[in-house]
Structure 1
Amino acid sequence: MTGTLPRGADFAERRTTMLERLAEVAGAHAEALAGGGPKYQERHRSRGKLGARERIELLLDPDTPFLELSPLAGWGSDFTTGASLVTGIGVIEGVECLVTANDPTVRGGASNPWTLKKALRANEIAFANRLPVVSLVESGGADLPSQKEIFIPGGALFRDLTRLSAAGIPTVAVVFGNSTAGGAYVPGMSDHVIMVKERSKVFLGGPPLVKMATGEESDDEELGGADMHARVSGLADYFALDEPDALRTARRVVARLNWRKIGPAPRPAPRPPLFDEDDLLGIVPGDLRTPFDPREVIARISDGSEFDEFKPLYGPSLATGWAEIHGYPVGVLANAQGVLFSAESQKAAQFIQLANQRDIPLLFLHNTTGYMVGREYEQGGIIKHGSMMINAVSNSKVPHISVLMGASYGAGHYGMCGRAYEPRFLFSWPSAKSAVMGPAQLAGVLSIVARQSALAKGHPYDEDADAALRAMVEQQIEAESLPMFLSGRLYDDGVIDPRDTRTVLGLCLSAVHGAPVEGARGGFGVFRM
């Protein structure tokens, strides 16, 4: 068993670097928490309204965690960090639910392209993990200047609500303010609808549009007020007197769902790790070309720090084995030395099959520069063996969870169940980087190609221009490889503090057990041998 880390200068330097990166992430999170800024926050509160996160806090069971998802959506774009929407998993009356809440302090809660991507990802998580959905609605609809990027794909939001309902997954809409135009279909397609007296406004067309279209004079309450929908149209199932009353009602609706998890329960009273989670700050080197032992990470997130390693002497650049986290069994695949060779790929494929045979979820801990290249490895079948691993990941049916700790480059990102391979959840540490290859390698490849092209044409090669090009490309790829950039584009579900890894994984494993946990029985496609 590992666990005893040296506390020398290297550890201290790594810890300092990680804390600096965590401070950067905290700054980005602060942007999301600020919403539309002090002016619009104050305007919202002056109307007697609660903020999006305050509504969530009153909705959830007291003193229970809320796993916020995609909090940095839109970071680095022209839109507000957080994308005017809060999403996450929390417990309501003992039931784990997927909760979404519009932030009306950001352009009235209007949806921009990142809002849409974030909402669709939330629906995807709810569907895969069989989580009831509670939508806290206050939105003016699409951000009109961005309509070309929202209107056509945005229909998937309403499609998702109907598919969730058809799958027997309850959907609840609590309307606090505007839910107009296309947004009116959120309550319209939800199983349960709660509206607030003199606050909710749900209509396809507001008074100005109705006047222009039909010449009819009407006001907000006649067209879409809570009282009208509760008494006349029947769209509102519950009529709340104010926001706290609406949230109390939502809790009672969830309490009456008679909802049960289908997946197996965890082992009771799991033992905590033997080693301090704070050590996780000092494990990953600042320079990801320096290897580190992922078993040190496993020892700080697994129950009792236990890890029964599978094939430890074969393919040692990938550690595979069995563990438990918060009482849930997991199969772990963790990159040990960065590069994946043929042996590692074959070991991974076998291990994934075993996990599917036993109905055990898989945890992928990333630190890989990809599959090994070079004449010896090409002739040795690295393409076949890498494809075997990717085939196994692609057709595995047990839930997958991925955590990017360090590098996650090239096809190694795919083999370790990157975003395109639909892990149930994917989180990054602030130390992570992900791209087609490392910045220096990518810039070097472009330089070699340009040099060869110039020689083939008989042109002199401009070394100064080459140096400038390489520097520019390295800087660009480095910036585009960083976790906040990737998280802003929803390529992960959030950048987390390494010390929170065990807690986050426990919440995710609890969520995935809301649905059946069943592995593939065959059906892996053709493995090239």
Structure 2
Amino acid sequence: MTVWKSVVDTTSPEFTANREAMLEKLAEVEAEHAKAIEGGGEKYVERHRKRGKLLARERIELLIDEDSPFLELSPLAAWGSDYRVGGSMVAGIGVVEGVECMIIASDPTVKGGAMNPHSLKKGFRAADIAERNRLPTINLVESGGADLPAQKEIFIPGGRTFRDLTHSSARKIPTVALVFGNSTAGGAYLPGMSDYVVMVKERAKVFLGGPPLVKMATGEESDDESLGGAEMHARTSGLADYLAVDEQDAIRLGRSIIRRLNWHKQGPAPKPDHEEPRYDTEDLLGIVPPDLKVPFEPREVIARVVDSSDFDEFKPLYGSSLVTGWAQVHGYPVGILANAQGVLFSEESQKATQFIQLANQNDTPLVFLHNTTGYMVGKSYEQAGIIKHGAMMINAVSNSTVPHISVLMGASYGAGHYGMCGRAYDPRFLFAWPSAKSAVMGAQQLAGVLSIVARQAAQSRGQEYSEENDTAMRAMVEGQIEAESLPMFLSGMLYDDGIIDPRDTRTVLGLSLSAIHNGPVKGAEGFGVFRM
């Protein structure tokens, strides 16, 4: 076995300082998670309970198998915006009757579960994950439709929600709607386009237009039940396949539907005899320094994530600022690319390209562990072909068809973010540690570049350059870029699938790999033209 021999000193002042800084950042993230969990706030939660209804997370808890995990996705959607943290929706992967499912629950304590631009993006991301990983989708529905003041950002792109449902069905990926309350206007098409529909008696109300709208449009007098009640849809319209007596019964019926799917994974099963890492995952708190300019050893992270801490390194003496190699995580074989010293040179780019091709040759998923400041710049590097070599790596990442998972541990700047399979390169999952930062470049570098450009522009016009204004400009830009580089800002924008505790990295990777293997795992049969 090729077990990494750890040299981490957990008693050193550096380790202790790193650990305290990481715990402080984790506390900030947990405080924001708490805001998502509280939904619309105490007043609206209490009102919901008085109506005899379960909360979104309570419905999920009853739906998934007892003591099974729930991998929540994008819990900080809408962070930093005028909307409630969480985007009025809970989404994640849970096990129902032994089947991994994408579960999407509207949160009726937040404006009646109305969709805002962030919940729309969150729903799109959940649908992408479900389709690409072949996960049945269960929608727990109680929503008043679009948040009308934001309709200009919702109406036109929102139609994709229903298109995604039909695409899943056409690909033989089942969709289930459990309707607990309102599902009106465009939202009526959510159960209308699902393969299976359960409605709760005297609770579910599904119609294109409610009684007031019908009165205005046609002059017809009607009531909720005759127009769109659960019993009417079960007995008359046929929209409901099952009529539940209450919420618990609806969840029971939903579980029964999943049990009868005859569902089988198409990817290879994990090896059953895998062992835990030889080193304590608690150590992950003290490995990454708060100053991302200080390098850290990614092999120490790998040793606390992979089975038996066994990592078979590929090309260890070449392109040493990028670590590549083979391992297992919870019995699933993986190829790992991890940034060591931050900068990607031509050698690292070529090494990564070959490694990605090899992973596609043997149908092995890839895990990217980010801590990069980007590709190297400078005259000698440009003349040596850094652009074409970086392009080779990005080409390989773009055309690789084995599943990719990205974890942002530290910096993820510039085109290095692209080469390491950032969001635009469609990884199956992308998670961030609280220590992560991502931007076109570091805040100081970006402010410095703007300063140089402004100084040169003033010189070309023959004007005197104000050093006082320059100092103020640099401080403003550095503050803005620093704020926009932080993981909570990026998570709020849906640029990752969640901020995770470093200690949970192995578990999150294992859950992600298990979900991925619902579908086939197959490498690319060809790549684009590599500029040599």
TM-score (norm 2): 0.99
Shift of 1:270: 1.3
Instruction: Provide the C-alpha distance between the structure 2 equivalents of 1:196 and 1:78, rounded to a whole number of angstroms.
Output: 33
User: 1:323 is matched with which residue: 299, 321, 327?
Assistant: 327
Shift of 1:480: 0.1
SS in 2 for 1:161: helix
User: 2:115 is matched with which residue: 111, 133, 143?
Assistant: 111
User: 1:503 is matched with which residue: 488, 504, 507?
Assistant: 507
Shift of 1:487: 0.3
Shift of 1:518: 0.1
Matched with 1:173 is 177
User: 1:441 is matched with which residue: 445, 448, 466?
Assistant: 445
Instruction: Provide the C-alpha distance between the structure 1 equivalents of 2:156 and 2:239, rounded to a whole number of angstroms.
Output: 25
Matched with 1:29 is 33
SS in 2 for 1:87: strand
Shift of 1:204: 0.2
Query: 2:199 is matched by which residue type in structure 1?
Result: M
User: 1:294 is matched with which residue: 295, 298, 306?
Assistant: 298
**Aligned-residue CA RMSD in angstroms?**
0.4
Uncovered stretches (5+) of structure 1, i.e. residues with no partner: none
Matched with 1:486 is 490
Matched with 1:399 is 403
Shift of 1:6: 1.4
Instruction: Provide the C-alpha distance between the structure 2 equivalents of 1:415 and 1:3, rounded to a whole number of angstroms.
Output: 28
Shift of 1:511: 0.4
Matched with 2:229 is 225
Instruction: Provide the C-alpha distance between the structure 2 equivalents of 1:269 and 1:141, rounded to a whole number of angstroms.
Output: 48
SS in 1 for 2:382: helix
Are 1:132 and 2:136 matched, yes or no? yes
Instruction: Provide the C-alpha distance between the structure 2 equivalents of 1:506 and 1:200, rounded to a whole number of angstroms.
Output: 37
Query: 1:527 is matched by which residue type in structure 2?
Result: F
Instruction: Provide the C-alpha distance between the structure 2 equivalents of 1:4 and 1:343, rounded to a whole number of angstroms.
Output: 27
Shift of 1:521: 1.6
Matched with 1:156 is 160
Which structure 1 residue ranges, 4+ long, deviate > 3 Å from structure 2? none
| 1:271-290 alignment, distance < 5 Å | 271-290=275-294
Give per-residue Cα distances to partners, 1:127-182, cap 9 Å, x unaligned: 00000000000000000000000000000000000000000000000000000000
Instruction: Provide the C-alpha distance between the structure 2 equivalents of 1:3 and 1:271, rounded to a whole number of angstroms.
Output: 17
Instruction: Provide the C-alpha distance between the structure 2 equivalents of 1:63 and 1:94, rounded to a whole number of angstroms.
Output: 12
TM-score (norm 1): 1.00
Instruction: Provide the C-alpha distance between the structure 2 equivalents of 1:390 and 1:254, rounded to a whole number of angstroms.
Output: 40
Query: 1:476 is matched by which residue type in structure 2?
Result: Q
Matched with 2:529 is 526
SS in 2 for 1:521: coil
Query: 2:195 is matched by which residue type in structure 1?
Result: D
Give per-residue Cα distances to partners, 1:440-490, cap 9 Å, x unaligned: 000000000000000111101100000000000000000000000000000
Instruction: Provide the C-alpha distance between the structure 2 equivalents of 1:270 and 1:354, rounded to a whole number of angstroms.
Output: 23
Query: 2:232 is matched by which residue type in structure 1?
Result: M
Whether the 8 Å CA contact 1:270–1:303 is kept in 2: the answer is yes
Instruction: Provide the C-alpha distance between the structure 2 equivalents of 1:177 and 1:418, rounded to a whole number of angstroms.
Output: 38
SS in 2 for 1:319: strand
Are 1:5 and 2:44 matched, yes or no? no
Matched with 1:389 is 393
SS in 2 for 1:217: coil
| 1:326-345 alignment, distance < 5 Å | 326-345=330-349
Instruction: Provide the C-alpha distance between the structure 2 equivalents of 1:339 and 1:100, rounded to a whole number of angstroms.
Output: 39
Instruction: Provide the C-alpha distance between the structure 2 equivalents of 1:397 and 1:250, rounded to a whole number of angstroms.
Output: 33
Instruction: Provide the C-alpha distance between the structure 2 equivalents of 1:311 and 1:521, rounded to a whole number of angstroms.
Output: 24
- Number of matched pairs: 528
Instruction: Provide the C-alpha distance between the structure 1 equivalents of 2:460 and 2:35, rounded to a whole number of angstroms.
Output: 51
Give per-residue Cα distances to partners, 1:477-519, cap 9 Å, x unaligned: 0000000000000000000000000000000000000010000
Instruction: Provide the C-alpha distance between the structure 2 equivalents of 1:129 and 1:2, rounded to a whole number of angstroms.
Output: 35
Whether the 8 Å CA contact 1:2–1:295 is kept in 2: the answer is no
| 1:452-463 alignment, distance < 5 Å | 452-463=456-467
| 1:344-493 alignment, distance < 5 Å | 344-493=348-497
Residue identity over aligned pairs, in percent, reads 74
Are 1:515 and 2:482 matched, yes or no? no
Are 1:71 and 2:82 matched, yes or no? no
Shift of 1:370: 0.0
Matched with 2:311 is 307
SS in 1 for 2:206: coil
Whether the 8 Å CA contact 1:201–1:221 is kept in 2: the answer is yes
